[in-house]
Each structure stands twice: as structure tokens, then as C-alpha cells.
Amino acid sequence: MRKGRVLVLNFDFSPITVCTVQRAFLLVYLQKAEMLAGLNGNVLRSVSQSFPMPAVIRLGRYINVPYKGVMLSRQNVFRRDGFQCQYCGSAKDLTLDHVVPRSKNGKSTWTNLVTACKRCNTRKGDYTPEAAGMKLRKQPEKPSYLHFLRDHSGMMMAEWLPYLELKKTG
């Protein structure tokens, strides 16, 4: 089977995860999910049959999913910030910057970490942006799972859009 990703919706159409084509096909084949959108006419073939390749599936019953957040990591902060320095907009020599420095009790949280180029990070030093005379392009925020999936995951597919657009705020 071809490698790919399938958007999985709960029974109420809320997005809950992304899985492999193989897993999605198995859920549909076992009638635990229904296929809502195929992958642009692509098919999966067995010896005697062919099946549409799923792009979006909906589970056949509601699954109570515990809070699903986005893991705080270096790469996810870079993704949230569009791989650009939040002070000058550069895309070169990127690193993480604590808006409120750790030496001033700044924590490693979504709302205190931003992408910064090494030049701006060095210039800001052990100060807040205001104290260093620098301005953030946008305030850092914790992305919701849906927002992150829709805007930053790097694996968005056109077939998913109608199902993710329904819940803009995530």
C-alpha cells in the first residue's frame, strides 16, 4: 500500500487524529468507520478487488478523546512561527528565544518561546524585548491541536479542507 495520511474524524465530525492509509482502510473495511473522501481517484488493490484510497474517514461511534494538545518542541515552535525570526523575519540561523529570559524566571512555555535568528537572540541577550528595544512581530500563543494540524503540520491535504474549515477556532 502507498504511504499516506488520512484525517480521522470522530462521530460528531470533530477531527481527532491523522493515521496511515493502511489503518484507515482497515477501519473502513471492518465497518468501524466510513470513508467520507477518497484520495483523488487513487485505489488500493487486492488480488481480486480494488477499493478507493481513503483521505478522510469518520468513526462509526463517538470516542471520548482526552484533551489533545500540541507537544512543545523546538520544531513545533519553528512551525508555529513559520520558520522565521519573530524579531526581524530572517529564516537563517534559527534558534529559540525565551521572551522573558530564564534568568528572570521565564519558563519554557508556548507563550514565552519564539523563533529567533542567532543575531537577534544575541542582540536581545538577557533582556525582555522591550528592555532591549526590540519588538515581536506577533505575540507567541499556544496553538490548538486543530489549528496546528490545519496550519502547521506540513501534511495538509486538499481533501481535508472541508472538514477542518468547519471548526476554524479549534
In a domain, 109, yes or no: yes
Do 61 and 78 belong together in one domain? no
* CATH code: domain of residue 97: 1.10.30.50
User: What was the pLDDT predicted at 168?
Assistant: 44
Do 10 and 51 belong together in one domain? yes
In a domain, 28, yes or no: yes
User: What was the pLDDT predicted at 165?
Assistant: 67
Do 21 and 63 belong together in one domain? yes
Do 58 and 94 belong together in one domain? no
Element (H, E) at 6: strand 5-9
In a domain, 138, yes or no: no
- Domain tally, the chain: 2
In which order are the strands placed within the sheet that holds 33-45?
Answer: 15-20, 5-9, 50-59, 33-45
User: What was the pLDDT predicted at 30?
Assistant: 95
**Residues 57, 27: contact at Cβ < 8 Å?**
yes
CA distance 53 to 31: 15
Domain that holds residue 104: 74-124
Do 81 and 60 belong together in one domain? no
Do 63 and 78 belong together in one domain? no
Strand partners for 18: 7
Mean pLDDT in runs of 10 for the chain (170 residues)? 75 87 93 91 84 92 82 91 96 97 96 97 96 96 77 69 62
User: What was the pLDDT predicted at 170?
Assistant: 41
In a domain, 37, yes or no: yes
Do 51 and 82 belong together in one domain? no
CA distance 53 to 125: 52
Element (H, E) at 49: none
CA distance 33 to 14: 14
Do 60 and 85 belong together in one domain? no
Cell of 18: 491523522
Do 11 and 56 belong together in one domain? yes
